A and B are shown apart, each in its own frame.
Chain A
Amino acid sequence: MAGHSSYVPGTGLTRWLDQRLPIIRLVNDSFVAFPTPRNLNFWYTFGGVLAFMLGIQIVTGIVLAMHYVPNSELAFLSVEQRIMREVNYGWLLRYLHANGASMFFIAVYIHMFRGLYYGSYKAPREVLWILGVFIYLLMVMTAFFGYVLPWGQMSFWGATVITSLFSAVDQLVPHLGTSITTWLWGGFAVDDATLNRFFSLHYLMPFVIAGVVGLHIWALHVPGNNNPLGIDVKGPQDMVPFHPYYTVKDGFFLVLFIIVYLAFVFYAPNFFGNPDNYIQANPMVTPTDIVPEWYLLPFYAMLRSVPQKLLGVLVMGGALVSLLFLPWLDTSKVRSCRFRPLMKQLFWLFAFDCVLLGYCGSQTADAVWNIAGVELPLVWIARLGTLFYFAFFWVLMPWIGKIEVTRPLPESIAQSVLSKGDGL
């Protein structure tokens, strides 16, 4: 897409540098002159938001790590007393980091659903999508490790529940699963050794994410951006240079996003949190309800909806792995849901299903819906939701793509933009 570089070094120094390390040329071609479809809407601004959030999490995290003590006796105090009360603006760093994780996931879910809606995973962007799924998986792991660090009750018991999932392997190979959990814990229970390695990994993984983000952007800049119409760019009339058009557009929406983010930080900093995590970890007291953070609730609901432990773990893993196959499960020739009437309805049903599963995951395991006197265990709602989740990827998508009558595609982006007079 970039192909020919438009960069012309302006001074002797930049000419000298360009012949030795063309880094200014790289930045110019990737983030300044980079030709971008002119019809990208609001939903396309979340890539920039995500890059910003990764930066925020790394910067606040590095400073928090200067004050945090990864020791099972001291971790809770180092957060709740030292960072929250004694370190200058420690409370601000901690709330920025904790709420930042939630905002990071809000942004990544919007980003993923946007890709799903406009068919951004379809050829020639399969690798771009798969790299994105890997980033998401790395984010989930990083968030899980990070949630353990304050060493509150939910930290401890969440870590215990999730790491114990590996013991399900015992059902295939006796003792293997238990050996894996012992190896993960560095002992016979979640304890000091576990906390230390989780801290080490939590510090490492953001840099791994940053590396894969580099690949993700590389894989984006080869075929170029998809767009809400899902049609290929035909020529320069369909595009605008990234700067100033998308720097200002992404910048504006980024500031709106930051306003929402900071409104939580300053006025509802514990909105996404669980009160139990303000109680120090206690291996002798199990909380009445162990719930993961909100962004993992749909997968938690799937796990609980399967009565067999190993099968439940496989279903939960399968839900994530299914995303990797998406580019080949969608058989449609048309990318954007704007021109796919059936897929559009299915998309919204799928989005609703994910929210429903999240709700099921947030309720107690024995919760019951009482509908007009009929008792309906929530676990059955979760089972239906799980079934639909998998059916969406493995049955409906391949099938709908073949039978759907799509609406006619516009001639070009430029024609569509000029006839509507509105790119939003």
Chain B
Amino acid sequence: MRRLLPLAAVFAALCCSAGMAQTASEPLPPKEMNWSFDGVFGTYDRGALQRGFQVYKEVCSSCHSLNMVAFHDLAGPGGPGFTELQAKAIAAGYKIPAEPNDRGEITDDRGNRLTRPGVLADHFPQPFPNEQAARANNGGALPPDLSLIIKARNGGPNYVYSIITGFGRAPPHGFTVMSGKYYNPYFAGRNISMPPPLNKGSVSFSDGTPATVSNEAKAVVTFLSWASEPQLEARHRIGFEVLAFLVLLAGLLFLTYRKVWHGKH
């Protein structure tokens, strides 16, 4: 094994030198952020979850769906910590496409889609009725559903945070920002169809947190992380209990092993 070490060192050196020259359209690595839900004991910051929900509702949801999240999730364990009454009120504030009425109609006399207030069992409604409508309203680009966005991107929360805070820099000399696109150095190709979503004061936080772009982004990334991984807190807690038990069991088994094998080797 020892004579392998130099080989491994050479291999490591090769890998390090393998980094290719940065070209102007290659994305920057995401910003390194600290998240309350990182690590073995990580939990979601309740305040950030509730503020993040507000940012999603008032900003993101005009283009991005959140199909897999139901209103009752907002009051569920490990979630934003709204009470059931609050979640009911939030749901009732949304218009959900209604089921056919007694006459079998889903539109009113003027052809508008019938709606009803949301209930806890409903999921967040989509901003556009279908993909074509979403593209038509967004210059041909499709705003992705955000239910799994944190897990569906390399870099996870750091990546999404970098994208939504990565606007406003001047493109490097000679870089062409395509028509209808925006320069974002963290995005592959650096031309992104999404306009800068967050501004200072885009929302007004009721808990007094200053509505800076960074605070808004941190909050909404926390909310979306929860949407992607709503069971994270239970997973972290159960994992600790299970592993603590197994370490104890391993210790006892080791002692048994020593006793059984005593004198045999």
Contact = CB atoms under 8 A, between A and B. Distances in A.
B265 A270 contact: no
A117 to B, nearest CB: 12
Given A248-B256, A266-B239, A276 B152 contact: yes
Nearest to B188: A288
B14 A423 contact: no
Contact of A38 (B8, B152, B265): B265
Contact of A248 (B68, B156, B231, B253): B253
A270 B152 contact: no
Contacts of A359: 15
B243 A275 contact: no
Interface in B211-265: 228, 230-231, 235-236, 238-240, 242-243, 246-247, 249-250, 253-254, 256-257, 260-261, 264-265
B9 interface: no
A307 interface: no
Contacts, number: 112
B18 A421 contact: no
Interface string B1-34: 1011001100100110111110000000000000
Contacts of B235: 91-92, 95, 266, 269
A305 B230 CA distance: 42
Given A266-B236, A266-B243, A81 B17 contact: no
A275 B261 contact: no
B260 A245 contact: yes
Contacts of A249: 257, 261
Contacts of A269: 235
Contacts of A39: 265
Given A262-B246, A278-B148, A267 B239 contact: yes
Given A278-B152, A417-B265, A371 B17 contact: yes
Nearest to A256: B250
Question: Which of the four size classes fits the interface of chain A?
Answer: 35 or more
A369 B17 contact: yes
Contacts of A345: 3
Contacts of A81: 68, 147
A263 B19 CA distance: 31
Contacts of B243: 259, 262-263, 266
A421 to B, nearest CB: 7
A265 interface: yes
A297 B261 CA distance: 40
A240 interface: yes
Given A91-B231, A245-B261, A251-B253, A262 B239 contact: yes
A345 B3 CA distance: 9
Contacts of A256: 250
Given A267-B239, A356-B11, 18 more contacts: A85-B68, A91-B235, A92-B238, A248-B253, A248-B261, A251-B253, A252-B256, A255-B250, A266-B239, A266-B240, A267-B40, A269-B235, A270-B151, A278-B151, A279-B144, A279-B152, A423-B261, A423-B265
Interface of A: 38-39, 77, 80-81, 84-85, 91-92, 95, 240, 244-245, 248-249, 251-252, 255-256, 258-259, 262-263, 265-267, 269-270, 275-276, 278-279, 288, 345, 348, 352, 356, 359, 367-372, 417, 421-424
23 contacts: A80-B68, A80-B148, A85-B230, A240-B264, A245-B261, A248-B253, A248-B260, A249-B261, A252-B257, A259-B243, A259-B246, A262-B246, A263-B243, A265-B239, A266-B235, A267-B236, A276-B152, A278-B151, A348-B1, A368-B20, A370-B19, A372-B17, A423-B265
